[in-house]
Amino acid sequence: MRIVLIGASGTIGKAVANELGERHELITAGRHSGDLRMDVTDPASIRMAFEQAGAFDAVVSCTGHTTWKPFVEMTAEDYRFGVNDKLMGQVNLVLIGREYISDGGSFTLSTGVTDHDPVPMGSSASMVANALSGFVMAAATEMPRGQRINVVSPGVIEEAMADYGPFFRGHCPVPAARAALGYAKSVEGLQSGQTFRILG
């Protein structure tokens, strides 16, 4: 398969590239690095990158940001940031990508453990993660041309504990290579509309 991988320079993205790159041709995309430049917050940028990619069979998203603050400090703008970036950024990958992807192609999006296990300062992350899971569940029932869609929800990544450990006290970290297996399951499997949880 030819796979467009967004966010290949990140911790999870690198692990996914190592996993899928052994068997498939990867076209990497990102804001500042990769084979293609793509800003998921800009639909025109997404469309341009897909046009430049040529034919492809899968889209894997390992990107997206939300605001991490105590709830009492969160503003509407803080929530809007996560909606525009991690939520609509990934939704737009599907809305635009469905026009370009091959028949029977697949989309794999990313959320995280906050979709079912809330953590301090993670109200935006939980909101966005659950919205993405709902989107995937419903969109799967109407995907055109035999396309599939899933989302991977890994626990806190072991290699990222130096940065995110304070938010995830008591959580069992997941090695990035193990999280990458969820993406392989989505791309190379048959299921659709699923949330693949990869927990420690």
pLDDT per residue as tens digits for the range 87-120: 999 999 999 999 999 999 999 999 999 999 999 9
| pLDDT band, residue 200 (cuts 50/70/90) | confident
Q: Write down the pTM of the prediction.
A: 0.96
Query: What is the rounded average pLDDT for all residues in the chain?
Result: 97
Helices within the chain (DSSP H only): 11-20, 43-53, 76-82, 88-97, 123-139, 161-164, 176-188
Average pLDDT over residues 80-88: 98
pLDDT per residue as tens digits for the range 152-176: 999 999 999 998 888 899 999 999 9
Domains along the chain? 2-198 (3.40.50.720)
State how far the Cα of 113 lies from the Cα of 90, in Å rounded to an integer: 17
Q: Residues of the chain with pLDDT > 70: what percent?
A: 100
pLDDT per residue as tens digits for the range 13-64: 999 999 999 999 999 999 999 999 999 999 999 999 999 999 999 999 999 9
Distances (CA, A) of 172 to 113, 114, 158, 169, 198: 11, 14, 8, 9, 11
